[in-house]
């Protein structure tokens, strides 16, 4: 019996969400007396595959034969389903990423398995399994029971955290599932790569700007603060709709869901659709010149003021503290 973890990589390097998912799986495995198996799809170096062991995988299924360069949900779902049968998986875990949330329902339907997305903590019971998940774009939680023999879960990113890596060498097995690449239904038309240095969904600190900044040029201040804090830059949807920032930086219900340790919102009102993408952040700081802006209802710290004076003050204060 095993727990299968979909180990997502980006250009051959595993994402932080993969290590978090393995940490979560390992904690579940202790309760279930199960083995943690990671499934890697696409070309990934052996040394990178070995890292999966440090976070809890005792075995890695390496699917590198075949054309997996483009993400095709149908093809990937067939691969995961074949891996589930191969390792007798009772639980299949996906990250709460775009690929993870696209794959999970497809795999669940193929396995006739119960699916819960947006899980935020370890199950409170295992048979039947009971999990807690986010609902209403982060406004509330729900407890859900899964009665099917196989359970499919997606983990809300950064809700569990990554455990300390340990010395452990996993068994790496080349796995060639019987999938037919000609069944691929999707044809990739365009790839818009994130241009920032840090992957937004992996960043520990995020500095975001909203429509209150009023122009693309004013984002230089956001970039400067982000650079100083080693943070990724994000924005609200109207900002990317206006073309002030690229679409891959937009967070919220229709954008990326993030959960950094620190989220700094500048000139963002805090509409429910925006908050849905950031509500799992550990600390939220809001800078807004309207004291009644809804963002202050979710913020841990708020500064009522003009970002044009608050951000430079913040930058100077950080530099001053660091120079001591």
Ligand X SMILES: Cc1cc2nc3c(=O)[nH]c(=O)nc-3n(C[C@H](O)[C@H](O)[C@H](O)COP(=O)(O)OP(=O)(O)OC[C@H]3O[C@@H](n4cnc5c(N)ncnc54)[C@H](O)[C@@H]3O)c2cc1C
Contact map string, positions 182 to 211, toward ligand X, x by CB under 6 A? ----------------------------xx
Stretch that binds ligand X, among 39-47, 123-131, 145-153, 232-240 (CB under 6 A): 232-240
Task: State the minimum distance, in angstroms, from the CB of residue 162 to ligand X.
Answer: 26
Stretch that binds ligand X, among 10-18, 27-35, 123-131, 251-259 (CB under 6 A): 251-259
Task: State the minimum distance, in angstroms, from the CB of residue 245 to ligand X.
Answer: 11
Interface pick for ligand X out of 255, 284, 299, 302 (rule CB under 6 A): 255
Give residue for tokens 């044009």: 308
3-state secondary structure 21-39: HHHHHHHHHHHHCCEEEEE
Cβ distance 250 to 193 under 8 Å?
no
Give whichever of 38 and 231 is closer to ligand X, judged by the CB atom.
Answer: 231
Interface pick for ligand X out of 53, 212, 260, 302 (rule CB under 6 A): 212
Task: State the minimum distance, in angstroms, from the CB of residue 251 to ligand X.
Answer: 6
- C-alpha torsion 80→83→84→85, nearest 10: 130
Give whichever of 74 and 308 is closer to ligand X, judged by the CB atom.
Answer: 308
Bridging pattern class, strands 232-235 and 205-209: parallel
The partner residues of 302 in beta bridges, in order of sequence, read 286
Task: State the minimum distance, in angstroms, from the CB of residue 151 to ligand X.
Answer: 29
Q: Does 238 bind ligand X (CB under 6 A)?
A: yes
Interface pick for ligand X out of 100, 138, 170, 252 (rule CB under 6 A): 252
Task: State the minimum distance, in angstroms, from the CB of residue 205 to ligand X.
Answer: 19
Q: Does 59 bind ligand X (CB under 6 A)?
A: no
Q: Of 266-295, which residues contact ligand X (CB under 6 A)?
A: 267-269, 271, 273-274, 277, 287-290, 293
Query: Which residues are CB-contacts of 13 (< 8 A; sequence separation ≥ 6)?
Result: 44, 48
Alpha carbons 210 and 198: distance in angstroms, whole number: 20
CA atoms within 13 Å, Cβ hemisphere of 249 = 27
Interface contacts to ligand X, rule CB under 6 A? 210-212, 236-239, 250, 252-255, 267-269, 271, 273-274, 277, 287-290, 293, 306-308
């Amino acid at each position: 019996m095993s727990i299968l973890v979909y180990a997502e990589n980006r250009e051959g390097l595993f994402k932080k969400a993969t290590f978090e998912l393995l940490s979560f799986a390992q904690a579940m495995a202790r309760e279930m007396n199960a083995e943690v198996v990671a499934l890697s799809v696409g070309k990934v170096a052996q040394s990178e595959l070995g890292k999966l062991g440090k976070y809890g995988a005792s075995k890695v299924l390496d699917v590198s034969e075949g054309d997996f360069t483009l993400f095709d949900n149908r093809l990937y779902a067939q691969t995961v389903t074949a891996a589930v049968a191969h390792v007798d998986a009772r639980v299949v875990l996906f990250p709460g990423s775009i690929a993870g949330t696209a794959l999970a329902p497809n795999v669940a339907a193929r396995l006739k398995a119960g699916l819960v997305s947006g899980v935020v903590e370890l199950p409170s019971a295992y048979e039947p399994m009971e999990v807690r998940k986010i609902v209403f774009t982060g406004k509330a939680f729900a407890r859900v029971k899964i009665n099917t023999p196989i359970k499919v879960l997606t983990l809300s990113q950064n809700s569990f955290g990554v455990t300390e890596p340990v010395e452990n060498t996993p068994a790496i097995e080349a796995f060639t599932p019987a999938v037919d690449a000609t069944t691929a239904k999707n044809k990739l038309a365009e790839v818009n790569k994130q241009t920032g240095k840090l992957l937004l969904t992996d960043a520990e600190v995020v500095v975001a700007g909203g429509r209150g900044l009023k122009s693309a040029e004013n984002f230089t201040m956001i970039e400067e603060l982000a650079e100083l804090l080693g943070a990724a830059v994000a924005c609200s949807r109207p900002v990317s709709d206006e073309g002030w920032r690229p679409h891959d930086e937009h967070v919220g219900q229709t954008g990326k869901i993030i959960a950094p340790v620190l989220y700094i919102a500048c000139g963002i009102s805090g509409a429910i659709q925006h908050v849905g993408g950031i509500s799992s952040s550990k600390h939220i700081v809001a800078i807004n010149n309207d004291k009644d802006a809804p963002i202050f209802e979710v913020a841990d710290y708020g500064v009522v003021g003009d970002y044009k004076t608050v951000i430079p003050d913040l930058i100077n204060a950080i530099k001053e503290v660091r120079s001591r």
